[in-house]
Chains A and B, each alone.
Chain A
Amino acid sequence: MIKNISNLGDAALYCDFGKEVNKDINTQVIKYFKTIQKKNIAGVNNITPSYNKLIISFDLKKINFNKLKKVIDNIEIIKGDSIQNKKFEIPICCEKEFSLDIKKLEEKLKMKEEKIYESFFEKEFFCYMTGFIAGMPFLGDLDENLRAKRLDTPRVKVPKGSIGLTEQFANIYTFESPGGWNIIGNTPLNIFDSTKEKEPNLINPGDIVTFKRISKEKYQNYHE
């Protein structure tokens, strides 16, 4: 449930679901997001769900903070309305040329490469949110022993398709972008496609993701 609503500037509501990050709280955030989206409230421009916050930005010409807060305060979330989770298996290649930071991770985590991958590939991930850059999924939770800090100096260019780890999360760079996550592999799969206007994102909040290791040969000959 929303614990507190405050204003973020003069044209957005900041809905706080607490400090913790877990699946249950995030599922609540996504439920609110979907309910509000369906309501098509006049003046609302964007609704951004994240781990434990929901930001609703609006057109100040059409509505203001107090009016919108009243609407959100009184919104009813349908109980038991479960989110439709899709399941994806993402192929990744972990050859040297793609696993840019695996050696650094071995040092940071004091674990052997094989163990890191073993633990990573066993995991079933939950998509908490998408964003920062178009379509980038934030996937959790990594096991405690796989949690590492960001790179000391972020890369200017992380290659498209890179899979990165930071703290309890994994993500996929949907296109070449600056970034500081620890890169362990690369997927040939297109995660974001701007020509598909209805559903440009392959992975959406609430979806379940597993990774599957593929050879370099398969990577090179990959067809979607």
Chain B
Amino acid sequence: MSKNCFEIIRAGINSTFQDLGRNNLYHIGIPFSGAMDNRNYLLANKLTGNNHNDPVIEFAYQGPHLKYHGDKINIAITGDVSFKIKKGDNLINGECYQSFILENDDELDIISTNKSVYGYLAISGTFDLKFQWYSCSTNTKAKIGSNNGEKLSVNQKINVKEINNNFVHRKLNYVNTKIENIRVIKGTNFNYFSEEGKKIFFKNEFKVSKLSDRMGMRLEGKKIENIVDTNIRSEGLIKGVIQVPADGNPIIMLSDHGTIGGYPKIGVVVSADYDKLVQLTPGSTIKFQEVDLNSAETLFKLYDLETQNLISQI
């Protein structure tokens, strides 16, 4: 009997199991969750020959350091990530967007993401996980998802249920591009803000605050003045919504957001730009550019086509 597993030597800052997230639960207060950067999630699974919706480990800033025990297995890391693989006395510099074989006692040290927030680790096989509502996606605030809703912790063991015996070396030539402008559609409360406030929103730069996580991204900049009411009747939220509370600083709802909220919505980030938005590190600047619904739909088609294209190149 072989027991394949990863032993966690260092857990990293926020390493969690993620997949495509869970649907149809907003009405009871459970957010979508899922991998923050959808494209990099899909590419990681394809590079290891998995199903497109298989669980992966998502990490932020500093990733986990893992020691592998068991039969040989393929792994792949996506994003903009520095990592090393230790095979006995050999230390190999890892490269993103290609598969590597791990054998018994090899170590994988995911040192950090570079000028980005999230990275993804997929294995050629399935982690042994308990799902909740058909998804492994972990929401650590609500304690929902695999690993009892917790992030990975040191000394823990992650068991591998099955290895797909597909050891083809896969590689993709791809570099994550940085984004300059985040495109948004005006929100349902756009007219709550003064003319000057609207101008600030679309013309000025905002700084990504340190108080950003999987729930939301807080921005700092020139105060956006509200001339109607700084509260609205609480109503549903979706990811990408930009709320402006009384202090005048925008907050963007991300994948683990509260399902309802009572601050005015000045805009919504277009779906095509979401993956790039979540990768913006604290301290970086962000500028909003207005687009209409039609253009947003076209942008999404292009984004999706590009993603499918990349997947088919693997």
| B: interface residue count bin | 35 or more
Cα(A13)–Cα(B143), bound, Å? 29
Contact of A8 among B32, B260, B265 (CB under 8 A): B265
Across the interface, which residues of B come within 8 angstroms of A134, CB to CB? 28-30, 142, 144
CB distance from A224 to the nearest CB of B (A): 19
Q: Is the CB of A46 within 8 A of B24?
A: yes
Q: Within B3-54, which residues are at the interface with A (CB < 8 Å)?
A: 23-30, 32
- Say yes or no: is A49 at the interface (Cβ < 8 Å to chain B): yes
User: Beyond A10-B293, A129-B260, A133-B258, is A50–B235 a contact (Cβ under 8 Å)?
Assistant: yes
- Say yes or no: is B241 at the interface (Cβ < 8 Å to chain A): yes
- Say yes or no: is B167 at the interface (Cβ < 8 Å to chain A): no
Q: Is the CB of A130 within 8 A of B28?
A: yes
- Say yes or no: is A21 at the interface (Cβ < 8 Å to chain B): yes
Across the interface, which residues of B come within 8 angstroms of A27, CB to CB? none
- Say yes or no: is A138 at the interface (Cβ < 8 Å to chain B): yes
CB distance from B88 to the nearest CB of A (A): 43
Cα(A130)–Cα(B164), bound, Å? 42
Q: Is the CB of A8 within 8 A of B187?
A: yes
CB closest residue in chain B, given A136: B29
User: Beyond A14-B188, A65-B293, is A51–B259 a contact (Cβ under 8 Å)?
Assistant: no
Segment touching A, from B55-63, B198-206, B278-286, B296-304: B296-304
CB closest residue in chain B, given A45: B23
Segment touching B, from A55-63, A77-85, A100-108, A214-222: A55-63
User: Beyond A45-B32, A48-B259, A130-B28, is A194–B143 a contact (Cβ under 8 Å)?
Assistant: yes
CB distance from A49 to the nearest CB of B (A): 6
CB closest residue in chain A, given B187: A8
Segment touching A, from B73-81, B91-99, B114-122, B267-275: B267-275
Give 1 or 0 for each of B131-160: 1 = CB within 8 Å of chain A CB: 011000000011110000100000000000
Cα(A135)–Cα(B143), bound, Å? 13
Q: Is the CB of B28 within 8 A of A131?
A: yes
CB distance from A210 to the nearest CB of B (A): 22
Q: Within A1-44, which residues are at the interface with B (CB < 8 Å)?
A: 6-12, 14, 19, 21, 33, 37
Q: Is the CB of A46 within 8 A of B297?
A: no
- Say yes or no: is A200 at the interface (Cβ < 8 Å to chain B): yes
Cα(A50)–Cα(B30), bound, Å? 14
Q: Is the CB of B271 within 8 A of A46?
A: no
- Say yes or no: is B221 at the interface (Cβ < 8 Å to chain A): no
User: Beyond A7-B293, A45-B23, is A12–B258 a contact (Cβ under 8 Å)?
Assistant: no
Q: Is the CB of B260 within 8 A of A48?
A: yes
Across the interface, which residues of B come within 8 angstroms of A10, CB to CB? 185, 268, 270-271, 293, 296-297, 300
Q: Within B249-273, which residues are at the interface with A (CB < 8 Å)?
A: 258-261, 265, 268-271
Across the interface, which residues of B come within 8 angstroms of A46, CB to CB? 23-27, 32, 238
Cα(A49)–Cα(B235), bound, Å? 8
Q: Is the CB of B143 within 8 A of A175?
A: yes
Contact of B270 among A9, A57, A132 (CB under 8 A): A9
User: Beyond A10-B296, A133-B29, is A61–B238 a contact (Cβ under 8 Å)?
Assistant: no
Q: Is the CB of B297 within 8 A of A130?
A: no
Cα(A91)–Cα(B92), bound, Å? 61
User: Beyond A52-B233, A131-B260, is A11–B271 a contact (Cβ under 8 Å)?
Assistant: yes
Q: Within A173-224, which residues are at the interface with B (CB < 8 Å)?
A: 174-175, 177, 192, 194, 197, 200-201, 204-205
- Say yes or no: is B125 at the interface (Cβ < 8 Å to chain A): no
Cα(A46)–Cα(B255), bound, Å? 13
Q: Is the CB of B235 within 8 A of A51?
A: yes
- Say yes or no: is B64 at the interface (Cβ < 8 Å to chain A): no
Q: Within B289-314, which residues are at the interface with A (CB < 8 Å)?
A: 293, 296-297, 300, 304
Contact of B260 among A6, A21, A37, A50 (CB under 8 A): A50
Could you list 30 A-B pairs, sorted by A, with CB under 8 Å?
Answer: A7-B185, A7-B293, A8-B238, A8-B265, A8-B268, A9-B185, A9-B238, A9-B270, A9-B271, A11-B238, A12-B238, A21-B233, A37-B24, A45-B24, A46-B24, A47-B24, A51-B234, A51-B235, A53-B236, A57-B26, A57-B238, A60-B300, A61-B304, A130-B29, A131-B259, A132-B29, A132-B258, A177-B141, A194-B142, A194-B144
Which A residues form the contact surface with B (CB < 8 A)?
6-12, 14, 19, 21, 33, 37, 45-55, 57, 60-61, 64-65, 129-136, 138, 174-175, 177, 192, 194, 197, 200-201, 204-205
Which B residues form the contact surface with A (CB < 8 A)?
23-30, 32, 132-133, 141-144, 149, 185, 187-188, 233-238, 240-241, 258-261, 265, 268-271, 293, 296-297, 300, 304
